[in-house]
Amino acid sequence: MPHRFFRDEQFDFEIKIALGGVYYGCGDVGEILATAENIRDGHDDSWAAEWIGLATRVRSIAETCARDGRRVSAREAFLRAASYYANSFNVTLRNAKLDDDLLSNFQAHRQCFDEFCNLADTPIDRLEIPYAGTTMPAYLMRPDASGGPHPLLLVTNGSDGPITWAYASGAAAALRRGYAVLLYDGPGQQSMLFQQKIYFRPDWEAVIGPIIDVLETRPEVDPAAIVLLGTSQAGFWVTRAAAFEHRAAAAVVDPGVVDVSTSWLEQLPSGMKTQLAEGRQKEFDRNMKIGMMFSRELRAVFAFRARPYGATDPFEVYQQAVQYRVDADTVGRITCPVLVTDPEGEEFWPGQSERLYDMLPGKKEIVHFTAAEGADLHCQPMGRSLTDQRVFDWLDATLRRP
């Protein structure tokens, strides 16, 4: 997209994500652009303060509307407020001095999203999915009050996406088309990371399996029509899960991710790649320390990206990241139909959608998105309606839905 809102890459991309969420009610164009106008480019504290200020103001509107019995106005404002709180998270995660505010802002975000759910026209149930001695929080959303059974879209978020992004990037579109939806936080994601300190794992079938176990007991869900959707880094997780968990009727990866670690490794000098491959931890960590001494951006990005892996030592984090990859043998185990999205200008895993598509057996399709359509960049942030039209037209045909 030729237009830029900020020179700071993170700020610019997140404004585009925020604008994309407007289509499903996760923001208002005027509120977003007015807030962006007040943010000092590249200043994390300014970014966080402006979004929290907007979120607090819109939450107050929502609470007033709720007290006055204005159900629709309250519901819409709570969803916007939840999204605005979430817009502060990633910048907070990369800035240690803002970290003390993270948990309280996250709790406000979830409280607003819960109020949005309470005011929904169709039932939304909060679930606790048993997982590894604890539980994963989840939301089961139904398209109507008929009781079902409905086909279900099981949405897996990316490495840092809030629940509001999951709602805007698949869930809302699914509900409009008669699908039930399951949103959740998995290991290393949002509440599981911030509140329980439970970290990423590569073998995501251990996460998807317990969720499907619960879904199969729900009368609202058609167990023969459970669809996996993975956005961003979940393009890897859902691919991996589909290879070992064969109860899914179909899978969509947005985009295709074969090797998560390439987004880490491509930034390293060749000598440090050699140190990593040869296990020379002291040399690798020393060079990373030197690099971070002279680069605020490197320090910030590393702090942000390392946190959900549960390690602070650079060598250990990179060693974990290289485990997040699938090979041809693993992909060859997938038995369900798979749709792969391929946006022009993919920043994090360029070319991997095509690689995954070539590796997939059986029924498969790849869908390209372009700048000319306004649907380029990672996860097509400004092209949500077009993305959903193509994804759900494919799903309906694959599941043989009218």
DSSP structure string for 65-133: HHHTT-HHHHHHHHHHHHHHHHTTHHHHHT-GGGGGGHHHHHHHHHHHHHHHHHT-SS-EEEEEEEETT
The rounded distance, in Å, linking the Cα atoms of 402 and 399 is: 9
Domain contains 20: yes
Residues 155 and 58 in one domain: no
Quick one: pLDDT at residue 347?
94
Please give the model's pTM, rounded to 2 decimal places: 0.96
3-state secondary structure of 241: helix
164 domain-assigned? yes
The whole domain housing 31 covers 9-115
Nearest to 160 by CA among 102, 234, 222: 234
Q: Residue 264 CB: number of other CB atoms within 10 A?
A: 20
Considering the domain architecture, whether residues 284 and 171 belong to the same structural domain is answered as no
Tell me what pLDDT residue 94 has.
77
pLDDT given at position 299: 87
> Which of 93, 115, 137 is the endpoint of a domain?
115
Sequence-separated (6 or more) residues with CB below 8 Å from residue 27 = 18, 19, 21, 80, 83, 84
* Residue 146 shares a structural domain with residue 225: yes
Residue 1 lies in a domain: no
Residues 393 and 332 reside in one and the same domain: yes
CA angle 240, 158, 389 (to 5 degrees): 90
Does residue 268 share a domain with residue 236? no
Q: How many domains does the chain have?
A: 3
2 within domain boundaries? no
Query: Does residue 3 fall inside a structural domain?
Result: no
Write the single-letter amino acid at 24: Y
Secondary structure percentages of the chain, helix, strand, coil, to 5: 55, 15, 35
Report DSSP state, residue 271.
H
Query: Does some domain include residue 146?
Result: yes
pLDDT of residue 267: 87
Edge-to-edge strands, sheet with 338-343 = 124-131, 134-141, 180-184, 150-156, 221-231, 250-254, 338-343, 364-369
- Are residues 224 and 148 both part of a single domain? yes
DSSP states of 47-71 as a string?
A: HHHHHHHHHHHHHHHHHHHHHTT-H
Q: Give the whole-angstrom CA distance, residue 262 versus residue 111.
A: 36
- If one counts every other C-beta atom within 10 angstroms of the C-beta of residue 2, the result is 4
Same domain, residue pair 213 and 127: yes
- On whether residue 4 sits in a domain, the answer given is no
Give the residues of the chain that fall short of pLDDT 50.
1
Which of 98, 115, 132 is at the close of a domain? 115
Q: How would you classify the pairing of strands 150-156 and 124-131?
A: unpaired
Instruction: Supply the pLDDT for residue 1.
Output: 46
Q: Supply φ then ψ for residue 130, to 5 degrees.
A: -60, 135
Q: Do residues 213 and 275 share a domain?
A: no
Say what the pLDDT of residue 2 is: 53
The label of the residue with tokens 């329980």 reads 196
> What are 38-93's pLDDT values in tens digits?
999 999 999 999 999 999 999 999 999 999 999 999 999 999 999 999 999 988 88
